[in-house]
Chain A
Amino acid sequence: MTDMKNESKPTGFGVLKNTRYSRWAVLASLACGLWLLPAGAMAQTAEPKAGEAKPEMDHTKMDHSKMDHSKMDHSGHDHHKMVMDDGGMVMNWNDDTPSRDCGKISGDVAFEVRAGRKYAEQGQSFGFSQNEWNVPACSRVTITFVNEDNIRHQWMLHGLPRYLYPQGMFHLEASGGTTRKGTFIVPSGDKTFLVHCDMAQHMEKGLKAQFKVGSGSGDLPSVPGITDARVHDPEQQNSGTWQLVLLASGLMIGVGAGVGGGWIGRKSHKSK
């Protein structure tokens, strides 16, 4: 900490890699085996969590009062369009045109997603009420995005076919205390889509999720409650002393095993 000035001159990637990785690599290789276990377990537990969130469209839960229906209708008829009002927006609404690979819409799915501080994990700032969704291929998906904070948040999904969704995005953005609703149609095939709030540092501080079509195409890193971060804080790892003690004891065990093995071997050789 006191030496930070030396380790982190802001010259981009290179310097950070050098200082962070060296220490990290040692621990990573040590801890590798231990990690696989809980990571696997977490991936398993993610499944039922996603499964339970597969309800049919539940109109009773939606907050109609806060929605501006006149503007919603306007965008609904003319998909790919965007609606902006009161500090929020709905981008690339599409409720009638499936992607070319689909042919027709397979069915309707609706989710209510809440966002805010109260859904944040320890060590983060914000959170979604749910971090994974599973839908069948070619579903028509309606998201009701309820922002419980008093600042702006987003539910932004990336990777949709660009000929239907400019920039491949479907995007709901809600000012503090407001709700936005929008509909899009997922393509066919097993794919995992990134969902996040693309405000500065909001994804990093908790607003990250994954949207799986079919059986998905694996998990994304650092999804709260689902996968681990790829880059940890090196200072938050074991202290230097503990690392040294661990390394030293590893070394001693190794040397002890070698010497002991040699001694036993020699003894048994002698006894023959």
Chain B
Amino acid sequence: MFARARAIAATLMILSALGAIYVAWLVDPAYLPPSLSTYLFQTFGERPYAAPAATAELPKLQPEEICPPGNSEWRNAQTIDGVNIKESLHCEPDNPYEVAAFVKGTNNVSMGTLMETQLTTDAVVKGRDLDGDGDPDEIHIRLEVAELNGHSPDANIEVPGYSIAPGVKPGFWAFVPKARGMATRNLETFEAQPMLRMPSPTIRVEQGDKVKITLENTHYLPHTIHFHGVDHPFKDANGEGNDGVPLVSEMPIFPGEQRTYDIQPRQDGSMFYHCHVQPQSHVLMGLNGLFVVEPNRPNNPVQTLNVGASQVRHPSVAVQERNSHEYDMHYLAIDYEMHNILKTSNDPRVVSKRLHRDYNITKREPEAFLLNGRSFPYTIRESLVIVKPDERVKMRILNGGADPIYLHTHGHKVTETHYDGIERPEASQITRDVVHVGPAQRVDVELETVNDGLHSYGPGAWLMHDHREEGVTTNGIGPGGNISLIVYEDFLGENGIPKIAGNLSTLFTEEYWRGEIPVFADMDPTGLLSEPVPTASTLTITLLTALLVALLGLFFGSLLWLIRSGGSTSVGAKE
């Protein structure tokens, strides 16, 4: 009886082994040693044709409008309260009333103009003309700190919401002008009002101005401001620390407190300001911006703040002497791991622990790359460099991040005129097509749109982007990152969106940035590179794989049986 059992077990073992080899060959010949699979091909011939996977239909997408309807009259050149404001052809131009208020001062501008903004009466106060040259030299700026995409104890939402690309909402902190009213656009949305945004605004003063900058710390962690490269005394007139470095020059400004910094810069140039509390996280979290000191000129009230950077709609007299347009360009690379800590807890103690102790900047891996607080395609709404032929455009480039950028200007070679606010001797100014800007560095470049094959190759919609290739992606998906364009007006549509070869609609969906849309899907007329769907043949493969596993199970089962029946025999013999 035991002998029979052993015989059955042995037969089962052999059959299941042979079956498993055959099924494995059907599923994938690579499972077998090459000699064995070759033998099977020779024995059974080629395997039958399996229909390939069909192409999936693209999901029905509801893209945002590339240029949402808005205040199109804001784009016009205009004069508000006597302040001349340049035309801005962007889809989303700066609010010209804000520009007027920043030029005249929120204390001097008409109430009607101020009501068209969300600025407080004391956001930018301009006082006396100390040198009698026709512009105010006493400037008092009040900044607050806004958290964007923070935690809500009421729902799983980011408040107030701020998107760098469709559906992409990392947490940020930004210095913002002192504002009034709601933090959201209206009662129906959680989206932040337009002044609460990245990057921190460019601050612009005139050389020699007596500037007071008050930081009202409206945030839940301590902060300071350090004026990097801007001429300022270590202590102010009252003997208070003025360098913004906690423990060294002063104590940090705790939540609910404020401090005023005093500066009177003797030198002009493109400088930098940032929070110096735990800078390894606070600077990169968004608390940094350009600080521009304009050369002193008569009748030169400057645009004290440039919200969202990009085009300067009221350039200084000195800039206008040479340049037709001026652009502030703020670059920042962000590590989601750090920025999303803000969303994980409502408790400042917990956020502080996770940010300042658990998060380790040496393990940093940035996923998103911003130009003026947005990633492509949102950059084309506000941060195009719009030019005409034969112009000289000034671009002040700040790298507010921790990684170098290598800015490539398609179709143009630009001239680097200033490093860190200091003008290069003319003979050593470099003309090139990749501008290298390290962390905290500022490079002023001049873009000449002269079609000479060197400075410009002629009109077009020319890409402009960081050439570290991760810089043109958002979490690894492209085209995103800090891409923008140099666009000649002939290549600009009515609404400020460039006239280009394809349609960007797919990029204006959240699905694209979640990686759910094949990147060539809507460009490829053959559809050959769209997404495959699971087919009958893959189902067959799945079933065969299941059969293979079952056969292997049977093999080991019968092996066990064989061993056991052998053991039983010996036990039986004893009995």
Contacts and interface: CB of A to CB of B under 8 A. Distances in A.
Contacts of B123: 87
B257 A200 contact: no
Q: Which of B114, B147, B365 has the most CB of A within 10 A?
A: B147
A205 B346 CA distance: 7
B157 interface: yes
A162 B385 CA distance: 43
Contact of A231 (B156, B167, B171): B156
Interface in A202-256: 202, 204-205, 221-222, 229-236
Given A151-B258, A152-B144, A198-B183, A230 B218 contact: no
B181 A173 contact: yes
B159 interface: yes
Interface residues of A, number: 56
Interface residues of B, number: 67
B350 A236 contact: yes
A85 interface: yes
Contact of A233 (B149, B159, B160, B345): B345
A87 B218 CA distance: 14
Interface string B177-218: 010111110110000100010000000000000000000111
B178 A10 contact: no
B95 interface: no
Given A11-B513, A198-B182, A235 B345 contact: yes
A13 B156 contact: yes
Interface string B388-422: 00000000000000000000000000000000000
Contact of A86 (B121, B170, B219, B346): B121
Contacts, number: 177
B475 A9 contact: yes
Given A86-B121, A151-B257, A202-B218, A8 B336 contact: yes
B58 interface: no
A123 interface: yes
Nearest to B340: A8
Nearest to B511: A11
Contacts of A229: 153-154, 346
12 contacts: A12-B169, A13-B156, A21-B156, A85-B121, A150-B258, A167-B187, A171-B181, A199-B183, A229-B153, A229-B154, A230-B155, A233-B345
Interface of A: 1-2, 4-5, 8-13, 16-17, 20-21, 84-89, 91, 116-117, 123-126, 149-152, 156, 158, 167-168, 171, 173, 175-176, 198-202, 204-205, 221-222, 229-236
Interface of B: 111, 114, 120-123, 142, 144, 146-160, 167-171, 178, 180-184, 186-187, 192, 196, 216-220, 255-258, 336-337, 339-341, 343-350, 354, 358, 365, 475, 510, 513-514
Given A8-B343, A232-B153, 14 more contacts: A1-B354, A9-B475, A10-B170, A13-B156, A124-B347, A124-B348, A151-B257, A152-B144, A173-B181, A175-B120, A200-B147, A200-B148, A200-B192, A236-B345
